[in-house]
């Protein structure tokens, strides 16, 4: 019996970043949902956070060179592309073809916006397992997405 929501043109999105927990979630999904992922469209998504140029301008006493700003943007782009290529290779080694997407913005909002924009049916995220204090100050991408994404969300927690 086919599991509803995981085939017939359905889309699964795995959101990743540089943190090992997100790549663990990707590997977990490939190991545990591979038969479903081969009949679904798999999207690997990453968000490039917008650089906080306030720090750059403050550090340069308000005269940041435009080439510095451009260099920071190019570096962020290279990191994102490298991360997506690594994820595609992990998928290819499991026999799964994946589409990659990168957006610029706050990761929490960018992920939820991408879910709507690309009509995602299942969102998979890794969990960093931050303490209560860190979550209070830094927020939790997975917690935000569980409450705001317009599709079911699977949060994969790395076992210690």
Which ranges in the chain belong to alpha helices (H)? 20-37, 53-59, 66-93, 107-117, 132-138, 141-148
- Give a yes or no: residue 140 inside a domain: yes
Q: Note whether 35 and 7 are within 8 A (CB).
A: no
- Give a yes or no: residue 1 inside a domain: no
- Looking at the predicted structure, is the pLDDT value of residue 31 above 80? yes
Q: Note whether 140 and 130 are within 8 A (CB).
A: yes
- Looking at the predicted structure, is the pLDDT value of residue 132 above 70? no
The model's pLDDT over 38-49, given as tens digits with 9 standing for 90+, comes to 777 999 999 987
| Across 92-96, average pLDDT | 91
- Give a yes or no: residue 137 inside a domain: yes
Q: Total domain count for the chain?
A: 1
CATH of the domain at 32: 3.40.50.620
pTM, full prediction: 0.79
Write out the residue range of the structural domain in which residue 61 sits: 11-157
Q: Record the tokens describing residue 136, joined without a space.
A: 């209070």
| pLDDT (0 to 100) of residue 65 | 61
The residue ranking higher by pLDDT, 121 or 68, is 121
| Across 98-118, average pLDDT | 94
Q: Which residue carries 């080439």 as its tokens?
A: 67
- Give a yes or no: residue 65 inside a domain: yes
Q: How far apart are CA 74 and CA 57, in angstroms?
A: 18
Q: How far apart are CA 39 and CA 93, in angstroms?
A: 17
Order of strands, edge to edge, in the sheet holding 41-48?
98-104, 41-48, 11-15, 122-127, 153-157
For 91, phi then psi, to 5°, come to -65, -45
- Give a yes or no: residue 61 inside a domain: yes
Q: Record the tokens describing residue 148, joined without a space.
A: 């705001």
């Amino acid at each position: 019996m086919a599991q509803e929501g995981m085939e017939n043109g359905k889309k699964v999105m795995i959101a990743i970043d540089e943190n090992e927990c997100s790549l663990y979630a990707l590997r977990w999904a490939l190991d545990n949902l591979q038969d479903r992922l081969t009949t679904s469209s798999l999207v690997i998504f990453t968000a490039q956070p917008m650089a906080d140029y306030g720090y750059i301008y403050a550090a340069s006493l308000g005269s940041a060179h435009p080439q510095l700003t451009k260099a920071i943007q190019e570096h962020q782009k290279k990191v994102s592309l490298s991360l997506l290529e690594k994820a595609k290779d992990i998928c290819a080694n499991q026999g799964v073809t994946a589409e990659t997407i990168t957006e610029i913005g706050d990761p929490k909002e960018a992920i939820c916006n991408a879910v709507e924009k690309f009509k995602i049916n299942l969102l998979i995220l890794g969990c960093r397992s931050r303490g209560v204090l860190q979550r209070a100050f830094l927020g939790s991408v997975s917690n935000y997405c569980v409450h705001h994404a317009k599709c079911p969300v699977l949060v994969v927690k790395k076992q210690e």
